A = this chain, B = another copy of it.
Amino acid sequence: MAPLRVGLAGLGTVGGTVARLLLENAALFERRAGRRLDLTRVASRTPKPEVDLGSATFDTDLASLDTGDVDVVVELIGGETAARAVVATAIGGGRHVVTANKALLAAHGDEIFAAANRRGVSVGFEASVAGGIPIVNALRTGLAANRLDAIAGIVNGTSNYILTAMEEEGQDFAAALAEAQRLGYAEADPTFDVEGIDAAQKLAILAALAFDATIDFDGVHVEGISGIDIEDIRYARELGFSIKHLGLARLHDDGVEARVHPALVPESVLISKVSDVMNAVMAHGDAVGPTLYVGPGAGGMPTASAVVADLVELARGTLPVPRAAKRRLPGLGIGGVVCAHYLKIPAIDQPGVFAEVADVLSRHEVSIEAVIQRPQAIRTGDEPWVPIIIVTDEAPETVVRDCVAELANLGGVTGEIARIRVADLSAMMPPS
C-alpha cells in the first residue's frame, strides 16, 4: 500500500517531537498502520536546522505544504490566523488535516469540519484536548454504544499544577504561578491558562464530540483560578474537599450546560486526587455508566503521541470524515445551575453577626450543610474580624448570588465574600 505522505506545519516542541517519532519509529508505525508514514515536507517560518528531518523537504513558507506529495497536513503552528489558513488550504487541496490546535477548533471548528465534509477529507484532533489521553478516540469509538450525557474533568494542566502546589506545599497563588512559570508549565502571560480560557476551549471540543453536536463556545461559562486564596484551599481540605479547576458539560433537553470554574470536589471522588500537570476526563454514558481517563495533559511527547495516533488511524483508513449538519445546541448559561456553594464571609467578631448571616440564607431558603468559625481565627484590622466558612446545600446559582449580595451589605460583614461552587460528581464519576 502506498505510504501516507505527511506534511508538517510548525517545528516547535511538539512538531519536532512528531518529526523525531516518525523517523525513529517508522517500522513500528508501518506495522501498526499497515503502510508507511512518510514525513515528506516540513514547513516552519523559523528554520530549525537542529531537528533531523530525514529526507523531508524543509521550507520556511507554509504554502510549500500545498503540493502533490503531501496527503495529510499536520498543523502544529498554534494560534488562529496562520493556522486557519494552513488548514483551509490543506482541505481545499483535498488533503487530510491533523491538528493539536484547540483555539482554532473552538473558534473555527464548524467552518473546518464543514469544509472537510464537503471535500471528503478527515480531520484528526486527538492532540487538541487532554494531551496524551486518548479521549477523542474513547468518545468516538470506545463508547460508541452509549448516549453520553455528561463530561467533566481537569483539562488545564497549568491550573492543576498551581492548585496542587497551593494545597500540598501551602504556596499562595502568586508563588505557585511563579514556580509553574519557572518550570515551563505556565506562559509568561498566564491569562489563557489561569483564567480558564484554554480549559473552556477544550471543554467545548469534548462536549461537541460527546453530545454529537455543535457547541457555541460563547455559551461556555468561564472562570479561572486567579481568585482562589490559599485559605480557601485549607478550609476546603478541612471540610473534605480539594479545590480543582473543573470543566463540566451536561446535556439537557433544551441545550448544554457547559462551565469551567474552580470547584470543591469531594475527596470521595477520584479526580480530587489527580494532581500536578495531570489531566483527567470523565465521561458518563447510559450503558457504561461512569468512566475516567487520566494522563499527561501537555508536553511534547504526550501531544506527539496523540498526533501520531491520528496519523496511524488515517493510514488505516479509520479516521472519520466529519459529518455534515450536526445539531447546534445552545449554551444554557450559569444561571440555571443548582449546586452547593462554599462561602467565606469576613465578619466582625461580635455577637449576633452569625445569626444575621444565617437569617439571610434562611430567608432565601438556602440550607447550611457545614460551618467553620473559630475564635483562634480572629484577625486584627481596624476592628477584629473572623472568617465564617459556610458550605450550603444545593441551591440555584441565582439565589446564592442574591444571598451573597445581601450578605455583603450586612453591617457585620467587613470585606469581600468568596464564593466557590461545589461539584457534585458523585453520580457521574467513579468514586475513590
Contacts and interface: CB of A to CB of B under 8 A. Distances in A.
Interface stretch (A85-93, A310-318, A358-366, A403-411): A310-318
Nearest to A139: B134
Contact of A132 (B28, B141, B289, B304): B289
A129 interface: no
A273 B305 CA distance: 27
Given A138-B134, A295-B289, A308 B29 contact: no
B295 A295 contact: no
Given A287-B301, A431-B278, A145 B292 contact: no
Contacts of A141: 134, 137, 141, 309, 312-313, 318
A240 to B, nearest CB: 14
Contacts of A312: 141, 144-145
Interface in A179-227: none
Nearest to A146: B305
A292 B290 contact: no
A273 B270 contact: yes
Interface string A122-142: 000010000011100110011
Nearest to A138: B134
A431 B164 CA distance: 12
Of A28, A33, A287, A307, chain B has the most CB atoms within 10 Å of the CB of A287
B287 A302 contact: yes
Nearest to A142: B134
A316 B313 contact: no
A369 B33 CA distance: 47
A431 B294 contact: no
A430 B288 contact: no
Contacts of A29: 144-145
A134 B126 CA distance: 16
* Count of this chain's copies in the oligomeric assembly: 2
Contact of A292 (B25, B33, B295, B317): B295
A354 B41 CA distance: 69
Nearest to A34: B320
A399 interface: no
Contacts of A295: 288-292, 430
A293 interface: yes
A285 interface: yes
A306 B144 CA distance: 9
Interface string A273-288: 1111010000001011
Given A294-B294, A308-B144, A289 B274 contact: no
A143 interface: yes
A330 interface: no
Interface string A12-52: 00000100010001001100110000000000000000000
Interface in A310-365: 311-313, 316-318
Contacts of A301: 287-289
Contacts of A309: 141-145
A120 interface: no
Nearest to A286: B301
A430 B279 CA distance: 9
Contacts of A134: 138, 141-143, 291
Given A301-B288, A304-B145, A432 B275 contact: yes
B145 A138 contact: no
The list of the 9 closest CB pairs from A to B, nearest first, reads A134-B142, A145-B308, A273-B432, A132-B288, A291-B295, A287-B305, A318-B318, A292-B294, A288-B305
Interface of A: 17, 21, 25, 28-29, 32-33, 126, 132-134, 137-138, 141-147, 270, 273-276, 278, 285, 287-296, 301-302, 304-309, 311-313, 316-318, 430-432
9 contacts: A137-B138, A137-B141, A143-B305, A144-B309, A145-B312, A273-B432, A287-B302, A288-B302, A289-B302
